[in-house]
Copies of this chain bind each other. A is one copy, B any other.
Amino acid sequence: MLGVCTYTGGGVRHDIDPDAISDHVRKKGTLVWVDVVDPTEDDLATIQQEFSLHPLAMEDATKHGQRPKLDKYPTHAFVVAYSASLSEVDLFIGDGWLVSVRGRDPKGEPWSVDVARRRFERSGPEEATAGFLLYLILDALVDGYFDRTDAAEDRLEGIEDAIFGEEESERRMQQDLYELRRDLVTFRRRVQPLREVISSLLRQEVEWIDPLALLHLQDVYDHVLRAIDQLDSQRELLNNAVDAHLAIVSNRMNQVMKKMTSWGAILLGSTLVAGIYGMNFADMPELHWRFGYPYAIGLMVAITIALYIYFRRRDWL
């Protein structure tokens, strides 16, 4: 389960046996990288023993759901970050070694470390440092954020169209809106603290990160800021959309009520005419006109047309 490999510069990988870790660790110029998904109890015991990891950090790596954070221990540092799909990635970094423990996202998929690995091997740095590897892993994680914010952008546009477009399934739209907002809140909670994590790294609080990696981490920092910016904008736009929607719903109700009033008036007008000629007065001349009946019907039609035109003009119909 444990994937263990070493790099000695130039990006060439040597896969080694987990039991042989101690032969390679803390050898000058050698970077040892242990990567694991769903570590077993044995895996964890091995890792902890080989790199003398602190029990508190180990506990955090076992129990998922941590906040993105940077904990510093005497011989190593512990970084928690999240992928765009919210799978936790725990990183231990020490002098010449890095351990990555990858969790699974809500759909059960672990985050793939392949992109970072390929970039590390391709770039083939002269000195294989743990800091540069850390940079590439964080960079790959943060790059993924933009796919997610772009997708949110698309969903936001869909919602805008629904709000300003023709009346369609209200409840469906409302639920989309709510779920997008919920996603933003959840995602932001995982991104926001990462800013402080990388800022701490940049302040050189972790000694095992070399200057070159620091320079590159500045770039990751910019990207995290950008992602947070986008999330904040989207949140504000969603709030605006909610306001707009509320006003439009209110207004639509107005429209419906005007229609109702107009048709009610039209029908009641004709009913009144019918009522009048249904009265039983002894002397009602119209009742004996030759074209009395057509005249009454005509009166109803006239009232209907007149009111219709009237309400139409006032834009009530």
Asked if A284 is an interface residue, CB under 8 A from chain B, the answer is yes
Interface size, chain A (Cβ < 8 Å): 86
Asked if A181 is an interface residue, CB under 8 A from chain B, the answer is yes
Contacts of A253 in B (CB 8 A): 250, 253-254, 257
The DSSP consensus for interface residues of chain A is: helix
Given contacts A279-B296, A283-B292, contact A254 B264 (CB under 8 A): no
Contact B270 A267 (CB under 8 A): no
- List the number of copies, as a whole number: 5
Contact A283 B290 (CB under 8 A): yes
Contact B69 A222 (CB under 8 A): yes
- Closest Cβ of chain B to A133, distance in Å, is 17
- Closest Cβ of chain B to A76, distance in Å, is 13
Complex Cα distance, B219 from A194, in Å, reads 17
Contacts of A265 in B (CB 8 A): 263-264, 267
- Closest Cβ of chain B to A261, distance in Å, is 4
Contact pick for A233, options B66, B185, B260, CB 8 Å: B185
Given contacts A174-B244, A246-B247, A253-B250, contact A297 B278 (CB under 8 A): no
